Amino acid sequence: MSPRRRSPDWSRWLERWDLQQESFNPTREARFTAMMDVLEARLGRRFTVLDLGSGPGSFSARILRRFPAARSVAVDYDPVVRRIGQEALGDFAGRLTWVDAKLGAPGWRSALPIRRFDAAVSTTALHWLAPAQLGRLYRDLARLLRPGGVFLNGDHLAWDRSDRDLARLGRSVIDVYLRRRRTPRREEWADWKEWWESARRSPDLREEFREHDRRNAGHPKEQDLPLSGHIRRLRTAGFRTAAVVWQVFENRVLFAVR
Ligand SMILES: C[S@@+](CC[C@H](N)C(=O)[O-])C[C@H]1O[C@@H](n2cnc3c(N)ncnc32)[C@H](O)[C@@H]1O
């Protein structure tokens, strides 16, 4: 008799995802909280949000737990992280919808189940988009958000080239922070590479990795458009306000109003 395989612990995959994201962004939870505070201050506690590059749904889950009347549509192009999120979180009693779409690609909006949102959010994702793709995405968001709706992007938003010293200082400060934070929990942190390698070894994700590899053949490099480039493109797309509302060096939250 062949040994029975244990059923996968999807919640553990999601938990380890959060740990590896925190390992390079130690202020990740503070940034999520700051973004949710802005959502509440601006929209109250009942709204529909579009989570762009949601990964396995870390931010959507936090939003839906904190705001029981909110809804989220989580968009991601990677079948591996989407499967983990879908298995670990489900659909939050109908409040969370998962969408497979490539942001900024022509026609991606047609995959959305609704076309009117109070807010769009994104965390650690849009730095993957090429400037032209990002411009297209911002124009699409201007159509998807209702007048007065908001966009919040928590990401690495770089200073301009002339401010390289500040960028170096920011990286050194994060290193100091990480060294100070060596608690027992710190030892559990998988880094990004270890997480992906162990996920790839999992028999439960074999099919998703086949599709992941097919889609990522020739995957673009991280683009890292400076903050000023984001603000310019948001304004061109028709956003009224576009300003930083939270930051730790280049780790920022950019807020824009439709
Ligand atoms: C570092 S992860 C962040 C995930 C999640 N937002 C979080 O904070 O944990 C970046 C995510 O963006 C997704 N992504 C990058 N470019 C994308 C695109 N053009 N369309 C859809 N998803 C994209 C990736 O698949 C990945 O899941």
Closest CA to 20 of 56, 53, 46: 56
Q: What is the pTM of this model?
A: 0.94
Distance in Å, CA 129 to ligand 1 centroid: 10
CA of 85 from ligand 1 middle (Å) equals: 12
* CA 82 to ligand 1 center in whole angstroms: 10
Using the structure block, give the residue that is written with the tokens 């395989």.
Answer: 5
Cβ of 121 closer than 6 Å to ligand 1, yes or no, is: no
pLDDT tens digits, 171-190: 888 888 877 776 545 555 56
Residue 222: pLDDT over 80:
no
pLDDT band at 1 (very low <50, low <70, confident <90, very high): very low
Q: pLDDT digits over 125-181, tens only?
A: 999 999 999 999 999 999 999 999 999 999 999 988 777 888 888 888 888 887 777
Region of residue 123 (left: phi > 0; alpha: psi -120 to 50; beta: else) = beta
The average pLDDT across 20-24 equals: 89
62 lines ligand 1 (CB under 6 A): no
Q: 183 or 40: which carries more pLDDT confidence?
A: 40
Distance in angstroms (rounded) separating the CA atoms of residues 218 and 213: 10
pLDDT tens track for 48-92: 999 999 999 999 999 999 999 999 999 999 999 999 999 999 999
Question: Residue 111 is which amino acid?
Answer: A
Q: Alpha carbon of 62 to those of 33, 66, 80, 128, 196: distances in Å?
A: 9, 6, 20, 23, 23
The per-residue pLDDT for 79 is 98
Domains in the chain, please, with CATH? 10-257 (3.40.50.150)
SS3 155: strand
**Angle at 189 (CA atoms; ends 185, 193), nearest 5 degrees:** 180
Quick check: CB of 57 below 6 Å from ligand 1?
A: no
Specify the pLDDT at position 191. 84
